[in-house]
Protein backbone atom coordinates (compact mmCIF):
# COMPACT_ATOMS: atom_id res chain seq x y z
CA UNK A 1 0.00 0.00 0.00
CA UNK A 2 1.30 3.44 -0.94
CA UNK A 3 1.30 5.67 2.11
CA UNK A 4 2.86 8.66 3.78
CA UNK A 5 3.02 8.60 7.57
CA UNK A 6 3.69 11.84 9.39
CA UNK A 7 5.11 12.42 12.85
CA UNK A 8 2.83 13.20 15.76
CA UNK A 9 1.32 16.39 17.07
CA UNK A 10 3.64 18.99 18.53
CA UNK A 11 3.14 21.69 21.16
CA UNK A 12 5.92 24.25 21.24
CA UNK A 13 6.72 27.69 22.63
CA UNK A 14 7.49 30.73 20.47
CA UNK A 15 11.15 30.83 19.51
CA UNK A 16 11.65 27.06 19.73
CA UNK A 17 12.81 24.96 16.81
CA UNK A 18 10.92 22.05 15.30
CA UNK A 19 11.37 19.37 12.64
CA UNK A 20 8.42 17.24 11.54
CA UNK A 21 8.67 14.20 9.31
CA UNK A 22 6.87 12.37 6.53
CA UNK A 23 7.85 8.76 5.79
CA UNK A 24 6.92 7.18 2.50
CA UNK A 25 6.37 3.50 1.81
CA UNK A 26 4.95 1.26 -0.88
CA UNK A 27 6.48 3.15 -3.81
CA UNK A 28 9.79 4.48 -5.13
CA UNK A 29 10.32 7.42 -2.77
CA UNK A 30 13.05 8.92 -4.95
CA UNK A 31 10.84 9.09 -8.07
CA UNK A 32 8.13 11.48 -6.88
CA UNK A 33 8.16 15.02 -5.55
CA UNK A 34 6.94 15.48 -1.96
CA UNK A 35 5.07 18.70 -1.22
CA UNK A 36 4.13 20.36 2.05
CA UNK A 37 0.81 22.11 2.63
CA UNK A 38 -0.27 24.33 5.51
CA UNK A 39 -3.82 24.65 6.74
CA UNK A 40 -4.37 27.20 9.47
CA UNK A 41 -7.38 26.71 11.73
CA UNK A 42 -10.58 27.23 9.76
CA UNK A 43 -8.70 28.29 6.64
CA UNK A 44 -7.82 26.95 3.21
CA UNK A 45 -4.89 25.01 1.83
CA UNK A 46 -1.57 26.79 1.27
CA UNK A 47 1.20 25.24 -0.79
CA UNK A 48 4.52 25.70 1.00
CA UNK A 49 7.09 24.00 -1.16
CA UNK A 50 8.29 20.79 -2.72
CA UNK A 51 11.30 18.50 -2.75
CA UNK A 52 12.47 15.78 -5.11
CA UNK A 53 14.09 13.18 -2.83
CA UNK A 54 16.06 11.69 -5.71
CA UNK A 55 18.39 14.70 -5.86
CA UNK A 56 17.02 16.96 -3.08
CA UNK A 57 15.99 19.64 -5.59
CA UNK A 58 13.81 21.94 -3.45
CA UNK A 59 11.46 24.79 -4.38
CA UNK A 60 9.61 27.12 -2.02
CA UNK A 61 6.54 29.28 -2.26
CA UNK A 62 7.65 32.92 -1.92
CA UNK A 63 5.34 33.12 1.09
CA UNK A 64 7.38 30.48 2.93
CA UNK A 65 10.89 31.04 1.53
CA UNK A 66 13.20 31.76 4.46
CA UNK A 67 10.52 30.80 7.01
CA UNK A 68 10.90 27.02 6.80
CA UNK A 69 13.37 24.45 5.49
CA UNK A 70 12.34 21.40 3.50
CA UNK A 71 14.72 18.46 3.33
CA UNK A 72 14.74 14.72 2.70
CA UNK A 73 16.76 11.64 3.59
CA UNK A 74 16.26 9.19 0.75
CA UNK A 75 18.05 6.42 2.63
CA UNK A 76 15.09 6.24 5.02
CA UNK A 77 12.39 7.49 2.60
CA UNK A 78 11.60 10.47 4.79
CA UNK A 79 10.95 14.13 4.06
CA UNK A 80 11.12 16.88 6.65
CA UNK A 81 9.76 20.32 7.35
CA UNK A 82 11.58 22.40 9.90
CA UNK A 83 11.48 25.73 11.64
CA UNK A 84 14.38 27.41 13.44
CA UNK A 85 12.25 29.82 15.46
CA UNK A 86 8.52 29.18 15.72
CA UNK A 87 5.90 31.90 15.96
CA UNK A 88 2.35 31.70 17.23
CA UNK A 89 1.23 32.22 13.63
CA UNK A 90 2.83 28.86 12.71
CA UNK A 91 -0.01 27.13 14.56
CA UNK A 92 -1.63 24.96 11.90
CA UNK A 93 -2.09 21.52 10.45
CA UNK A 94 0.75 20.54 8.10
CA UNK A 95 0.33 17.92 5.42
CA UNK A 96 2.87 16.21 3.21
CA UNK A 97 1.72 14.76 -0.08
CA UNK A 98 3.18 12.90 -3.02
CA UNK A 99 3.14 15.20 -5.99
CA UNK A 100 3.24 14.52 -9.71
CA UNK A 101 -0.03 15.15 -11.51
CA UNK A 102 -1.61 16.76 -8.50
CA UNK A 103 -1.06 15.53 -4.97
CA UNK A 104 -2.37 11.99 -5.01
CA UNK A 105 -1.24 10.50 -1.70
CA UNK A 106 -1.43 12.52 1.50
CA UNK A 107 -0.07 12.04 4.97
CA UNK A 108 -2.47 12.12 7.87
CA UNK A 109 -1.31 15.59 8.90
CA UNK A 110 0.74 16.92 11.80
CA UNK A 111 -0.81 19.48 14.12
CA UNK A 112 1.64 22.11 15.32
CA UNK A 113 0.55 24.35 18.18
CA UNK A 114 2.77 27.26 19.17
CA UNK A 115 1.77 28.93 22.39
CA UNK A 116 3.48 30.54 25.34
- Which residues in this chain contact other proteins in the complex, by CB under 8 A? 33, 35, 37, 44-47, 50, 57, 59, 61-62, 95, 97, 99, 101-104, 106-109
* Total number of residues shown for the chain: 116
Tell the smallest beta-carbon distance from residue 16 to other proteins (Å).
26
Residue 24 or residue 86: which is nearer to other proteins going by CB? 24
Residue 86 or residue 94: which is nearer to other proteins going by CB? 94
Tell the smallest beta-carbon distance from residue 79 to other proteins (Å).
15
> What is the rounded distance in angstroms from the CA atom of residue 90 to the CA atom of residue 2?
29
Tell the smallest beta-carbon distance from residue 69 to other proteins (Å).
17
> What is the rounded distance in angstroms from the CA atom of residue 105 to the CA atom of residue 116?
34
Tell the smallest beta-carbon distance from residue 90 to other proteins (Å).
19
Neighbours of 104 (CB within 10 A): 11
Which residues, in sequence order, are CB contacts of 75 under 8 Å at separation 6+? none
Residue 69 or residue 111: which is nearer to other proteins going by CB? 111
Question: Contact 20/6 with Cβ under 8 angstroms?
Answer: yes
Amino acid sequence: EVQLVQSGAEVKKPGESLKISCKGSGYSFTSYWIGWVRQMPGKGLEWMGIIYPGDSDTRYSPSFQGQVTISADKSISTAYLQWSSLKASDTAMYYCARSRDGMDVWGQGTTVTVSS
